[in-house]
């Protein structure tokens, strides 16, 4: 649970992104502040329910879209095509297990890729590189 000071910080963060500080948004933002990872909406809903802070599924989906649009979380497509929300907003890449779908953050120097922006006329605004393989757990099981 958050303290009054941390609740005020979460409220300010929402307001800085042009959002009203509703209870569902505060609960969701608190979840993201306390939990690192890559979560499906269903996983978020289940964890909030287990914490005694449920949010209706429609409200959850609406706020996840809003948070993604405003840059509070990153929406990504995980293994198998499911939508996941990444709480790590720093530039990073992922290791993706092709067997179990585990996602692990890694940091790569993407500047070495030398995107062909000048030659093609493209303005590169972001880069995403995911490396796929088998996680240590799946390697042991195979």
35 and 81 both lie in a single domain: yes
Please report, rounded to a whole number, the percentage of residues in the chain having pLDDT higher than 70. Answer: 90
99 and 49 both lie in a single domain: no
The tokens of 105 are what?
A: 């953050």
125 and 59 both lie in a single domain: no
Average pLDDT over residues 81-104: 91
What's the CATH code of the domain at 17? 1.10.10.10
**Is 100 annotated in some ligand binding site?**
yes
Q: Is the pLDDT of residue 35 over 80?
A: yes
Q: Is the pLDDT of residue 3 over 80?
A: no
Domain that holds residue 129: 90-141
Is pTM, for the whole model, over 0.75? Answer: yes
**Is 15 annotated in some ligand binding site?**
no
**Is 138 annotated in some ligand binding site?**
yes
What integer pLDDT is reported at residue 91 of this predicted model?
Answer: 84
Alpha helices (H) in the chain, listed in sequence order: 4-16, 23-34, 41-50, 57-69, 117-120, 136-141
């Amino acid at each position: 649970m958050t303290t009054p000071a941390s609740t005020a910080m979460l409220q300010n963060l929402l307001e800085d992104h042009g959002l009203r500080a509703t209870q569902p948004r505060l609960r969701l933002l608190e979840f993201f502040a306390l939990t690192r990872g890559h979560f499906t909406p269903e996983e978020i809903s289940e964890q909030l329910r287990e914490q005694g802070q449920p949010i209706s599924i429609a409200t959850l989906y609406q706020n996840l879209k809003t948070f993604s649009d405003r840059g509070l979380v990153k929406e990504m497509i995980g293994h198998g095509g499911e939508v996941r929300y990444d709480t790590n907003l720093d530039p990073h890449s992922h290791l993706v297990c092709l067997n179990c779908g585990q996602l692990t953050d890694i940091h790569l120097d993407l500047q070495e890729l030398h995107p062909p922006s000048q030659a093609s006329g493209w303005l590169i605004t972001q880069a995403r590189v995911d490396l796929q393989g088998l996680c240590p757990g799946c390697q042991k099981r195979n």
